Structure 1
Amino acid sequence: MPQRLIYFYVLLFSTYILNAQTSTKKVAKTHRVNSHISIDGKLNEEEWKNAIPSTDFIMFYPDNGKEENPTKKTEVKIIYDDDAIYVGAIMYDNPENILQEIKLRDEFGTSDHFGVFFNGFNDNQLEYRFFISAAGVQLDAIATSAGEDYSWDAIWDCKVKITENSWIAEFKIPYAALRFSESEKQTWGLNMYRDIKKENTSYCWNFIDIKLNNEVVQAGILEGIENIKPPTRLFFIPYTSYYHNNNDSGSDNKFKIGMDIKYGINDSFTLDAILVPDFGQTTFDNVNLVLGPFEQQFNENRPFFTEGTDLFNKGDLFYSRRIGGTPTLEPTLTSNEEITEYPTTTNLLNATKISGRTSKGLGIGFLNAITENTYATIFNTPANQTRKELVEPITNFNVFVLDQRFRKNSSVSFINTSVVRNGEGRDANVSGLVFDLNTETNSYKLSGDSKFSYVNNIDEIKRGTNSSIFIGDTKGKYQYGFGSGYISKDYDHNDLGIIFRNNYYSFNANASYRALKRTKTFNNIRLKTDLNSEFENSTGKLQIGTISVSSLLYNLRNDIFQFTIEGSPFETFDFYFPGIDGRFNYNPKYIDFTSIISSNKNRKYSFDLTSNFIKHDQPGRKSYTLTLGQEYRFSDKFYIRYTARGIKNRNDIGLVDYDNNDIIYARRNVNTLEQQFTSKYSINNVMNFNLKVRYYWAYAINNKFLTLREDGYFDDNLTYNLNKNINRNIWNFDFSYTWWFAPGSLVSVLYRNNSSLGERTFNTNLGDNFKNVLSNNPNNTISISFRYYIDYNQAKNVFKHSE
């Protein structure tokens, strides 16, 4: 799509602004206190008695807008001093009905909880949300119009107490955990939230109308804060770690010392830096057997790259797993050499990020990371010599973002990512303009982007473009939208992002319905239909053409039922699987049925059952998937969960090899079995034992070889006879103990056992495969990590008192 057409749509939509019809916002009052407030969940200080309560909560779900049950009312008081803001909340209920499962931090679980949301600039752009469960587990998040980010963690204190007719939560939130202006008189955005788990109902203080897709614009007001100053936000998190590792090759010991630093540059911007990074205790990746043309995408588990990264995710140009990922260069080998060790990751030397937002709504984000030289080990058999060869030079990764928000619900963003390998590898630079425009009443949306990529691959330079636009109705029971996009052949942002397909233009449309009130049968009903199409640029051939209809139903017991039917009534063509420019293979028509049943998690025993069936318009080609997850909660402290997933693909067709000028495919059967077991035992809300076990087994057996023709169809190949069967087994076992012995301070102990096995010749006996992977050079690791959180303000006060 021509970029000037996008700019025309933006200009046209920007002139269509509806007058605001905002509802009246509630106002809460607070006042300053001078005496000490003890955080014990009792609210027995005189200052609490003099505070003005905020009441009259309104149901958020399932009967949006219904008044609060008088027997289960909520009463909240807010006070402040020079250092922090305090929140005291009383949630009336029968103690026998208050659920109190102990979970890990940032996990709600089966527990009642209460949350308070602050916006120090009252700009309806960003909220800092603090939750506490009835079991005393803390949760916190940053919320924007795009949703909640629970990877953000702040340091604050809260205690809960169960009484004869309620549960009480008492918060102390230091100003260092918030952002606000330096004005003498402050006006903050405020909302509060309560979830009653047993009844599956939730309430908010200032009404949140679910007809609107943006919650943060529907906050109330907090008045009365005066003469407070943003504190010096300087935090040091020194750590020390010890690792003992052993396998069949021997054992080794590693000792690490490092530090994370967080510094508030001003009231809006924060600098985060990691010196000598240590990510050795992050959870393992769920690695699968990949038979398709695209790499497997993994979740980010490293805290530095998950905390407060909402700005860097603008435009979907940043995939943080590229930093420290697999090397990009292949060693040059002679006929007598072989690679004996090829690293799967690169070592991160340091990383820094700066992020924040000005009082005028301009968000600025800067992230920089450097990885060190990485080498492969190569062995020359006749000479009996080993040498090293560079497979990834020192690499600098950089992300820069400008995000201007305006009218409290719209934004325009500029993003730039760059990867520099100093001339010893591929360099890349990608820039993008992203816009998200909403009418004043949040009834209509216009969004889109325009991106440009530049890749210097030493001997070749490629430039590409990527543009898209979407317009839709975003308010009420019925919503709809239409979109279109264009990606050129040479567009590529894979050096610091991830993209699977390019060289196509697309059209898509969707329509949906959602019930705003509960019915006689269901708490919630959502229906949606989607139409998606993609056409390859050079040939105009259809590569995606799908129609889907889905439903999401919550019954009165809050069990969940999801059903989806998707189909492609057209023959399509795959331009990625062959792996050679200009070649493609055809894909037959298909129909896909998926059903998901998820029982109410409040019960001691709960389950999730997913079934999927795909039938292709090709003899014998079909796929079955069945996943069953079962969870049993023995008590509020102890639960176990077991999940098993089985997949059978019959007469699947995929690439297996290149034979001279021929591209060889195979008609094959692919079977997959994945089992996961997780368990947690909590001694209390800060001390936990965790177990996570995964066994993954997948194999592909080729029944018939095929040769890809120039027209994308296949001929039988009767001469190719190499063994291209594949068997993959992966075993992971993690057992850990964690203790949050002070705010932000952690001791953790981890035992890890893992191994993997890939082979061409194998049997299909489950017991033999499980035994073989366990005995295939298992890697054993024991690690101990100690992290201590130092707040400059508290440390300064300690030194003052000691003088």
Structure 2
Amino acid sequence: MKPFLFLCIGFLCFPLSGISQEATNTIPKRIYTTNTVKGESPKIDGILDDTSWNSVEWATDFIENRPDENTPPTEQTKFKIMYDAKFLYVAIRAIDSNPDKIVKRLSRRDGFDGDWVEINIDSYHDLRTGFSFTVTAAGVKGDEFISNNGNNWDGSWNPIWYTKTNVDSEGWTAEMKIPLSQLRFGKSAAQVWGLQVQRRFFRKEERSTWQRIPLDAPGWVSEFGELHGLKNIKPQKQVEIQPYIVTKYDTYPEEAGNPFRDGNDFKLNGGIDGKIGVTNDLTLDFTINPDFGQVEADPAAIALDGFQIFFQEQRPFFVENKNIFDYQFANGQDNVFYSRRIGRSPQGFPNTTSGEFVDQPKNSTILGAAKFSGKTKNGWSIGVLESVTGKEFAEIDNNGTRREELVEPFTNYFVGRLQKDFNERNTYVGGIFTATNRRLEDNLNFLHKSAYTGGLDFKHNWKDRTFYAEGNLVLSHVQGSKEAIAGTQQSLTHLFQRIDAGHVDVDLNRTSLTGTGGKFEAGKAGGGNWRYNAGIIWRSPELDLNDVGFLRQADEIRQYAIVRYQTTKSVGKFRRISAGFSQFTTYDFEGNYNRIQYEFSGNMQFQNNWWIDFGGAHKPRIFINTFLRGGPRWRFSEENFGYFAFGTDERKKLRTSWNVVYSQAKENNFSFFEIGADVTYQPTDAMRISINPSYNRNPNKTQYVTQADSNGTTRYILGSIDNQTLSASIRFNYTINPNLSIQYYGQPFVSIGRYKDFKYVTNSIADNLNDRFYQYQPNEITFDAASDSYLVDEDTNGNVNYSIGNPDFAFVQFRSNLVLRWEYIPGSELFLVWSQGTTGFGNVKDHLLRSLDTQILGQQPENIFLMKFTYRFVL
């Protein structure tokens, strides 16, 4: 452990040593003073001819932000802001000396294509969060909730507001009408809000801002100017109710004899979503029997390492304001709250006999969910989420006689999140608590009865937010039957049964587990060209978050350090150049030194807006505790990898990007090659077509297959695999107007794995690859077609010692969505959805394209036709 400790001390001290190296020049805050509407409120038509606009002055003198920061922009921009008791009004004039060249591309909401202007409002004035309202020259709305000082922009936030645009001889203009009920602010008689206005001048890919923000600034929201003059505005208590009705018709291939697969199903459903402003700072969102039918399908994926696959949350109720509940305590996707656990696929399976048919629910039913969230004037961020999922039963048919078996219990999920800003918003401390409680019955004792997680976190910024230190701590506690806790101890996340582990072992009498995790990091976030940070992460062997969180692997200590360089001005032929170097090491809690990696990366954007990315890494030490699924630590040979990508100007109607990744281990242990592309064509301002094909090949001499017993000795079986995968994401978007659009998404996916040269582990950590295993000789292993397995006779005496199931696979899947969306009035929508898909297993002897033909094009797909109608009542 000594090398690890020295590295931790050195790298954690490194960021702090730079405190006196660079000083951040303070840029004066610009102030815009607004006023109340005089006379009639302006008509929102995009034409700035209302006399009421004369009650306030124009603000102008924008400064270029990119590509040449702190220089005059090509074209100037002006804006006005005024207000009344219920609305904030914004007028924008985007001057353009060539109005005919203004780019007006249509898209759905949040498209952000073509020329646009946005206003960012930090109405909390907490210097970390804000509300963004964008309008393009084509009149397309965009709205995002900004958090983490501009490092996170959440486009799922969809407030009700109004905007129109117009092109004239001077350029283009826009008017916005933003209800105060859609913003959050305190009760002060005189308000001060953070304010920024930004313009994209599309032809030159130029950004200009009202308040100058240097490219080396430590954040975005903290650097805003200020909006003054808001007096005696009263917080508006928001009440919105949105009932919905869904009709669903499902067709699929009829399965002979199966009463649950007769060829089609019809379903009528309904529910309610709602939003209530308890105070102007805090909002209660609730949903009863939510529907997620129009959500895009998850991408296809296969995990040969056995770990669960992380999928992004796409369901609107959970996506909106997710930043408040986020507690990403370590690296990767590890998070105390992973909302995909709510409504998950049932975890139990019924006991059946031959000839019985099963109707297995695909997801758990969310009976109801509510979240209470927001931020107060005093700097308290509050988030409380409560959700209940109902019992799920599998229905079994035995020659017309039916019964039900419980496959998912009644479950309650709770998440509470709290943060407090202080020290002039430069510091916050917070905490999180989650609870999962199940009403276990019947045959579900393999699940945890309860699971609790608590966490504390903090972040401190100093020297104008140039430097920071942050950290968190997590404590988990799970309870259940002896069976459940034994299963947790032996799961891939924990592997207490690992035969060479001296610090953990399986205790079959335990009924609970308690573990810890955490992170500490310090670094430089702004000022000058250099950024750097370093930290330490740990996850104890007993840590378990997977009831309502996401944890890939426990039992790890990781040290890391990163240094990055970026230009803040154009340099010669380049708009922007950045480069970075990182290093990390990992240990387990027994002190085993498992990994070290060194990586470099770079990015360059040319003046013509083409770009390249490149990088590579060296991995001189790779030991994996989980590879043999309870067996000893496994050593992979030293590895090197590199990648290269380039792309054309993303503004062009025909644009493309390409990427290549190549990895090679010594002794030809394994390799990886991937090539991918993205080709987008926009024949008109209203239509866009794109395809994103990808092919990879991953041969490996030591791919884990299974375990077998040979005369009381456990054999860890490996094989040489040739794994090839071909996929493509296809998208078609046609926007009739900003409120009416048609979108198509499709993804064919084919992955084939062929095994040969089977072997078993002899010395898993040997220096030489061939010393790590013994390869079966031809007279020791034979393939039996009748049982589709390999028969092993180790001592060649004619008696089979054990068999290995044929691990070859050919997985084929196609998923698609065609969605017509019409927002017929702000906040109320009609969806018409056609989802199509097929999943199958092809012939492993076929090549990829042949499998695509026989298993996708040659199969009858499942079709789902869905209509969803919502109406949003604003009370």
TM bucket by the smaller chain?
over 0.9
**Alignment partner, residue 347 of structure 2:** 328
Rounded Cα–Cα distance in structure 2 between residues aligned with 1:216 and 1:358? 17
Q: Secondary structure of the equivalent of 1:283?
A: coil
Secondary structure of the residue that 1:285 maps to in structure 2? coil
Shift of 1:656: 2.0
| Alignment correspondent of 2:764 | 711
- Paired residues for 1:784-803 under 5 Å: 784-792=867-875
Counterpart Cα distance in 2 of 1:664 and 1:692: 40
- Is the aligned partner of 1:577 residue 2:627? yes
- 1:98-177 correspondence runs (5 A): 98-109=102-113, 111-144=114-147, 145=149, 146-177=151-182
Within the candidate set 720, 723, 732, 1:670 is matched to: 723
The 1-side partners of 2:199 and 2:226 are apart by 18
**What is the CA distance between 1:539 and its match in structure 2?**
4.9
Distance 1:238 1:378, change over 3 A: closer
Q: Structure 1 residues 242, 379: closer, same or farther in 2, change over 3 A? A: closer
Tell me, yes or no, if the aligned pair for 1:724 and 1:760 is still in contact at 8 Å.
Answer: no
1: CA distance, partners of 2:576 / 2:512: 52
Instruction: Report the equivalent of 2:200.
Output: 195
**Corresponding position of 1:269:** 282
2:407 corresponds in structure 1 to: 391
Q: Mean alpha-carbon deviation: is it higher for 60-69 or for 711-720?
A: 711-720
1:632 pairs with 658, 678, 681, which one?
681
Matched AA of 1:26: R
Following superposition of structure 1 onto structure 2, how do residues 410-489 of structure 1 map, counting pairs within 5 Å?
410-424=427-441, 425-426=447-448, 427-459=450-482, 460-475=511-526, 476-489=528-541
1:598 matches 2:647? yes
2:64 is aligned to: 59
Structure 1 contact 322–495 (Cα < 8 Å) conserved: yes
Structure 2 distance, partners of 1:131, 1:193, is 9
Pair 1:31-2:84 in alignment? no
Give the letter aligned to residue 412 of structure 1. V
Native 8 Å contact 1:466 1:486 kept in 2: yes
Q: Deviations over 1:499-558 (max 9, x none)?
A: 11211211111111000001111101110001011112225131x321110001110011
Distance 1:228 1:724 in 2: 68
Per-residue deviation, 1:408 = 1.8
Q: Given the alignment of the two structures, is residue 317 of structure 1 paired with residue 355 of structure 2, yes or no? A: no
Can you list the C-alpha shifts for 1:115-153, whole angstroms capped at 9, x where unaligned?
Answer: 111122323132111011111111111112242111111
1:764 to 1:378, Cα distance in 2 relative to 1, 3 A: farther
* TM-aligned CA deviation for residue 772 of structure 1: 2.3
CA contact (8 A) 2:29 2:211 kept: yes
Whether the 8 Å contact between 2:241 and 2:274 is mirrored in structure 1 is yes
Residues 1:760 and 1:393: Cα distance change in structure 2 (over 3 Å)? farther
2:599 is matched with 548
The code of the aligned residue for 2:606 comes to N
Unaligned stretches of 5+ residues in structure 1: 793-803
Preserved CA contact (<8 Å) 2:167 2:173: yes
Which structure 1 residue ranges, 4+ long, deviate > 6 Å from structure 2?
Answer: 16-21
Over 3 Å counting, the alpha-carbon distance change for 1:768 and 1:377 in structure 2 is: same
Q: Distance in 2 between matches of 1:650 and 1:224?
A: 66
Q: What stretches of structure 2 of length at least 5 have no aligned partner? A: 254-260, 329-334, 442-446, 483-510, 766-771, 782-791, 793-802
CA contact (8 A) 1:622 1:652 kept: no
Alignment counterpart, residue 85 of structure 1, candidates 84, 88, 97: 88
**For the residues of structure 2 that align with 1:508 and 1:608, how far apart are their CA atoms?**
31
Native 8 Å contact 1:293 1:576 kept in 2: no
Map of 2:586 onto structure 1: 534
Provide the identity percentage. Answer: 25
1:666–1:232: structure 2 CA closer, same or farther, 3 Å change rule? same
Match of 1:355 in 2: 373
Distance in 1 between residues matched to 2:597 and 2:157, nearest whole Å = 37
1:570-605 CA-partner distances (Å, limit 9, x unpaired): 2x211122222x633221111111111121111111
Decide whether aligned partners of structure 1 residues 513 and 768 sit closer, same or farther in structure 2, where only a CA change above 3 A counts: closer
Q: Following the alignment from structure 1 to structure 2, what is the Cα–Cα distance between the partners of residues 337 and 530?
A: 57
- For 1:218, the equivalent position in structure 2 comes to 223
Stretch deviating more after TM superposition (200-209 or 325-334) = 325-334
For residues 758 and 453 of structure 1, what CA distance do their matches in structure 2 show?
A: 40
- Of 553, 560, 577, which residue of structure 2 is paired with 1:501? 553
Report if the CA contact (8 A) 2:409-2:440 is conserved.
Answer: no
Paired amino acid for 1:561: I
CA contact (8 A) 1:56 1:68 kept: no
Q: Which amino acid aligns with 2:337?
A: F
Which stretch shows the higher mean deviation, 761-770 or 146-155?
761-770
Where does residue 559 of structure 1 map in the other structure?
Answer: 610
> Which letter maps to 2:663?
I
Aligned partner of residue 311 in structure 1, secondary structure: helix
Deviations 1:757-800 (Å, cap 9, x if unpaired)? 135755335234433234545211111111111110xxxxxxxx
Contact 2:246 2:270 in 1 (8 A): yes
CA distance in 2, matches of 1:761, 1:143: 48
After TM superposition, give the deviation of residue 652 of structure 1 in Å.
5.1
- Cα deviation 1:361-387 (Å, max 9, x = unaligned): 11110011111112334567xx88654
- Alignment RMSD: 2.4
DSSP 3-state at the match of 1:198: helix
- Give 1:641's aligned residue: 690
Decide whether the 8 Å contact of 1:311 with 1:403 is kept in 2: no
Which has the higher mean CA deviation after the structures are superposed, 620-629 or 695-704? 620-629
CA drift at 1:241:
1.1
Structure 1's 235 and 77: CA in aligned 2 closer, same or farther, altered over 3 A? same
Between the aligned partners of 2:474 and 2:352, the Cα distance in structure 1 is 38
Give yes or no for the alignment of 1:234 onto 2:239. yes
How far residue 294 of structure 1 moved from its aligned partner, in angstroms, is 1.1
Q: May I ask how many residue pairs the two structures share in their alignment?
A: 776
- In the alignment, what sits opposite 1:655? 704
2:734 aligned partner: 681
Tell me what 1:366 maps to: 384
The Cα of 1:389 is off from its aligned counterpart by 2.3
Amino acid at match of 2:248: Y
Name the residue aligned to 2:502.
none
Displacement of 1:275:
1.0
Q: What is the alpha-carbon distance in structure 1 between the residues aligned to residue 658 and residue 862 of structure 2?
A: 33
**Alpha-carbon distance, 1:309 to partner:** 1.4
Match of 1:299 in 2: 312
In 2 relative to 1, CA 337–710 (structure 1 residues): closer, same or farther, beyond 3 Å?
farther
1:226–1:620 distance in 2 versus 1, CA, 3 Å: closer
TM-score by length of 2: 0.85
